Structure 1
Amino acid sequence: MKKSKIINTTKMNKIKFFSVVFLALGYTSFAQDVDAAKKAIDGEQYEKAKSILKEAVKNTPDNGKAAFLLGNVYLSQNLQDSAKIFFDKGLKAKEFAAYNYIGLGQIDLDNGNASAAQFNFDQATKDMKKKDLEQYVYIGKAYTNSDNPNFKKAVEVLNRAKAINMNDAQTLLALGDAYYRDKNQNEAYAAYRNAAAADPSLLRAKMQLGVLLKGAKAYTEAKAALDKVLAENPNYGPVHRELAETYFGIALADKSKYKEYTAKALESYEKYMSLTDYSLASRMRHADFLIVAKDYKALEKEALEMKKLDNVNPRILRYLGYSSYENGNIDAAISALTEYTSNSKNKIIGRDYLYLGMAQLKKAIPAVSGDAKPVIDETLYNTAVENFKKAVGLDKPMANELNDIGKVYFDQKLYKYAAGIYEVATSNPNSQNYLYDNFFLGYSLYFEYASKDVKKPEVLEALKKADVAFGNVNVASPTTQDAHIYRARVNGLLSEAAAKDQMAKSYEEFVKVVTAKGPETVEKNKSKFVESYQELARYYAKTDKVKSNDYIAKALALEPTNTDTLNLQKLLK
């Protein structure tokens, strides 16, 4: 009996021993998986990271850390629904479940609910031990990486972690990111430098020092910093992307090197792609770069490849729309961008509406050869203009892009359609082309409506807009002589007394401005001087005969045999 009991006890001890061993081995394996996943995430190998973490979640369901990390990967890919599934799953784990409140908190931030986010962050930290700091680091990252970031709050939370351990490399790296995103370059530099010193193997901190230099347009120094990182690990993918963007900065800064360095940039980006598993996320960043580099053939190819990977991801429609337009596939561009902008859940930017408007405009006013007049789709044209308005409404600098578009139709003497585009362009008074756009808006309206019946409301309204446009030029550039004479001509078509007064004032300003430029400029504008003197003589005929006759004399001095001036002289006697 005793012997049996001893044997059973021995068996039980063996079972307990092996259970502890297997448990320890399980935790060791889990820790290795988490480390491998973190390394993959840092290297932007998101598909690899997801594969590792899914296995970890499956094999170790009682540990919530893997679910949290996996959810974060999905958040970085803007896949909020998938992220939430794993955060909710991680909350049910026996250990490290609280980390998943941080992920849910970032989702709240993304959705604009700061109070709900704070509640979740409080849940994540309420049972923290005295020396724990990782939760603060992830909360700081959540504030930095959110669609609705709060960089000041990120710094505040990360400084709590720093107070616990001032040499923790991940804390310092996250602080650098928060300062960098908040445009505090000096603090960002110090944080990245300290992170690299705390952990010399932390390549991202060293890379970010180069990124700061790139942002300051110190491209030579940035390239040197990035080359050092490559020397340590030529297979660290993100640094090839940063190097690509640095090369492109060099190309833009020195036009003589544009072709050479754009080629180097694209080559480096391809290297980045090959090292980051060609995931949808890396392909999208590649596509964003191709837009900046204006390599639309490659962009269309990339967009079609992405479509094979994820046929429902809406951003692919943007890339297809842009590239299809630039490559002449107008219907495909309209289709893709209409679908993309029709969904309010998509993160629509001004350029999306700009490209949609350009595509619609191309279709509305088809190109023709010679002197043939195009058959214009008025409804589609108006829709294009409305999309230009939306583009500028979302992103004021989009107004700069409309200048060249309007000029195309102005040069074709399609003045009505050029005017519609220039009118949108002038809605941003800070546009770099504001003066030019106003001038051509006034020109377009004058040339389109000067010969039409001013009694019609649409004609009267158009001429008044022309007056305002030329007036804007007068204010911004008083010495632009043609703005004065065209403003005078516009007001000469109007019947109100105030318009006639403005007509006279504009003719007088034209004479004054051109006279100040010297005899040679006066001679070049002799016919416009005669016109000005004639109209001023008519204007003053009833109120100041002396002045009226003086202007007739000036007109005859320039052209003694001018029939109109001689007839006016007889009429006013």
Structure 2
Amino acid sequence: MKEVKYNINFCVKTFLALLFIANIFNAQTLEHGIKLMEVEKYKEAKSVFESIANTNPKEASSAYFNLGKLSLIDAKVDAAKEYFQKGLNIDKENAYNYVGMGNIALLQKDSVEAQKQFEEALDMTDFKDVYVFIAVADAFINSDSKNLSKAFEWMNKAKTIKDQKKNPMLYYKIAELYVKANNGSLASENYRIAINYDDKFIPAYLGLAEVYLKIKIYNDAEANLNSAYAIDSTYALTHKEFAEFYNTVRNFGKAAASYKNYIDLSERTIPKLERYATLLYLAKGYKDAIEVIKEIQTQKEADAQLTHILAFSYYALDDFTNGIPAFEKYFKLASENELISTDYQYFGKLEVLAGNDSVAALNYIKAMKMDTSLADLHGDVAAIYFKAKKYQEAADEYALKEKLVGKLSVREHFDYGRAYMILKQYANADSVFKKFTEVKPDLPLGYLWRARANTNIDTTSELGYAKPYYEKFIEIVTAPGSDQSKYKNDLMEAYRYLGYFYYIKREDPNYKDTWRDNYKNYWEKVLTLDPENKAAKDALDNLKILK
């Protein structure tokens, strides 16, 4: 029986694990190719194996097998099958190419043919080569096959092989099978056995970390990752698993940093860059996410998901120049059911920054139709209408926000009342400013504008509707510590109103004894603020002839 000189694995972790089983490689060049696969430098590995296949007839069959593995990693099943067949054409006693053909059959859901190929490989080595068993296990692990009973049967048989009972790779593969079978308990047990037989066996630590992460025992997951890192800090997949750990616990900054290390230690591929861009966005590294996506776009057209991240990143940076076209492109790429309310919300905000208010309002309305919890946006729509002098529409939107959200901001409340004032709907304005003063009783402008609304309801001032509000305004503005200079004109307005009010009440019995002093007091206050005020001077001159 011809001895096969290399280990085989279809799963990425086993590529890493092969570092610990280096003694099974007799050819340094094959070993170099495998080590490149371990760190996911697949292009370099392919170049090595192609060179061996073309220049080294003795190792060509093994090289074709590894080229087949690389094709499977790249999801190129037909190409993989061709490589395995080439390997068999060169050396029909190379058991691993039969395993490769069995893997193809499993992927094509032909379990009968798969078992035939696997048994051929195992029989060829008299069921005594543990690494052929491991290769078969890998084929099951990396397929959609749900029936793992035969795989477990073969792996149990592998444990009976002389001198292999303490092989950590064997228990690692059994653990991987249990992971596929959703049995975390037995998976953990076998990972620990692998570590017990070789406490430097990094893949087992990573496997344990994954199990703990899945069941949310985060401390143990992190502890195993730290153990792996302590053994070899340059081990690429350790950094990848750290990235997934930090992503799960929502430490996106560390997740992105770990994933960058993973890329730097392996191969810079489009799928990895796509994942990296996502983590950078989640970590609020918007500028870096944009740069990574730009790098991707030099090699392929960005898809809907990447364009989405790009648009959101520009939004986060208030970059409407690039953000608007990014959103427009995303809307073309995404299907209707992929669009979410936030898309329209963010697009609308960028349009506001660009000065396209009418477009922004339409997008805000779309967002609210998709998600009623975004009722706050009624305030944004109202502000756009107010700016465009569409005061009725503005008032309606403010009313909607108040009804749905239960409150308005100070600015919104103020503009809500002002909209009614401009529309000459003074009773509505009075109601709005009444509520404003209840919500913000310490702000003088609420009382001032309520007074103004009431001067338009009580146009002759006979009823004195505005009087208490002007008085309250004066009280707040003239209180110790208040900066009266900001309200000079408003104070003069209030003083004039009150001076006039007492003038028209001079014959009212209720004011018989007080009107003159109050009249004089308020007009003198006007003169204090504006010594040359003609109306105040005339009013005080008239006092001499008033009875």
Q: TM-score, normalised by structure 2?
A: 0.52
Matched, 1:311 2:300: yes
Native 8 Å contact 1:137 1:174 kept in 2: yes
Cα gap change, 1:359 to 1:371, in 2 (>3 Å): closer
Out of 29, 32, 54, the position equivalent to 1:33 is 29
Matched, 1:320 2:317: no
Task: Using the TM superposition, give the Cα deviation of residue 101 of structure 1 relative to its aligned residue in structure 2, in angstroms.
Answer: 3.3
Name the CA distance, whole Å, in 1 between partners of 2:332 and 2:69.
31
Matched AA of 1:54:
E
Residue of structure 2 in register with 1:64 after alignment = 61
Name the CA distance, whole Å, in 1 between partners of 2:149 and 2:290.
39
SS at match of 1:64: helix
Matched, 1:75 2:105: no
Native 8 Å contact 1:75 1:83 kept in 2: yes
Matched AA of 1:210:
A
SS at match of 2:125: coil
Native 8 Å contact 1:45 1:277 kept in 2: yes
Structure 1: give runs of 5+ residues left out of the alignment.
1-26, 253-260, 342-351, 385-401, 414-442, 444-573
Name the CA distance, whole Å, in 2 between partners of 1:56 and 1:75.
19
Residue of structure 2 in register with 1:354 after alignment = 338
Task: Using the TM superposition, give the Cα deviation of residue 228 of structure 1 relative to its aligned residue in structure 2, in angstroms.
Answer: 2.2
Residue of structure 1 in register with 2:276 after alignment = 286
Cα gap change, 1:303 to 1:186, in 2 (>3 Å): same
Name the CA distance, whole Å, in 1 between partners of 2:68 and 2:25.
20
Residue of structure 2 in register with 1:398 after alignment = none
Cα gap change, 1:228 to 1:102, in 2 (>3 Å): same
Matched, 1:105 2:95: no
Name the CA distance, whole Å, in 1 between partners of 2:231 and 2:67.
28
Matched AA of 1:217:
K
Task: Using the TM superposition, give the Cα deviation of residue 174 of structure 1 relative to its aligned residue in structure 2, in angstroms.
Answer: 1.5
Cα gap change, 1:311 to 1:366, in 2 (>3 Å): closer
| Count of residue pairs brought into register by the alignment | 345
Q: TM-score, normalised by structure 1?
A: 0.50
Name the CA distance, whole Å, in 1 between partners of 2:294 and 2:360.
33
Residue of structure 2 in register with 1:43 after alignment = 39
| Higher RCO (C-alpha under 8 Å, 6+ residues apart) | 2
SS at match of 2:124: coil
Aligned residue runs from structure 1 range 138-153, under 5 A = 138-147=135-144, 151=148
SS at match of 2:303: helix
Cα gap change, 1:158 to 1:73, in 2 (>3 Å): farther
The alignment-based identity, stated in percent, is 26
Native 8 Å contact 1:337 1:356 kept in 2: no
Matched AA of 1:273:
I
Task: Using the TM superposition, give the Cα deviation of residue 272 of structure 1 relative to its aligned residue in structure 2, in angstroms.
Answer: 1.5
Aligned residue runs from structure 1 range 193-232, under 5 A = 193-232=192-231
Native 8 Å contact 1:48 1:277 kept in 2: no
Matched AA of 2:193:
N
Native 8 Å contact 1:30 1:60 kept in 2: no
Matched AA of 2:276:
H
Residue of structure 1 in register with 2:507 after alignment = none
Residue of structure 2 in register with 1:132 after alignment = 129
CA-based RMSD of the aligned residues comes to 4.4
Task: Using the TM superposition, give the Cα deviation of residue 151 of structure 1 relative to its aligned residue in structure 2, in angstroms.
Answer: 4.9
Name the CA distance, whole Å, in 1 between partners of 2:239 and 2:334.
31
Structure 2: give runs of 5+ residues left out of the alignment.
1-22, 316-322, 380-403, 405-547
Name the CA distance, whole Å, in 2 between partners of 1:296 and 1:116.
50
SS at match of 1:209: helix
Out of 35, 51, 62, the position equivalent to 1:55 is 51
Task: Using the TM superposition, give the Cα deviation of residue 69 of structure 1 relative to its aligned residue in structure 2, in angstroms.
Answer: 2.0
Name the CA distance, whole Å, in 2 between partners of 1:206 and 1:154.
23
Cα gap change, 1:235 to 1:332, in 2 (>3 Å): same
Task: Using the TM superposition, give the Cα deviation of residue 303 of structure 1 relative to its aligned residue in structure 2, in angstroms.
Answer: 3.8
Larger Rg: 2
Name the CA distance, whole Å, in 2 between partners of 1:113 and 1:291.
42
Task: Using the TM superposition, give the Cα deviation of residue 139 of structure 1 relative to its aligned residue in structure 2, in angstroms.
Answer: 1.8
Name the CA distance, whole Å, in 2 between partners of 1:180 and 1:136.
18
Task: Using the TM superposition, give the Cα deviation of residue 236 of structure 1 relative to its aligned residue in structure 2, in angstroms.
Answer: 0.9
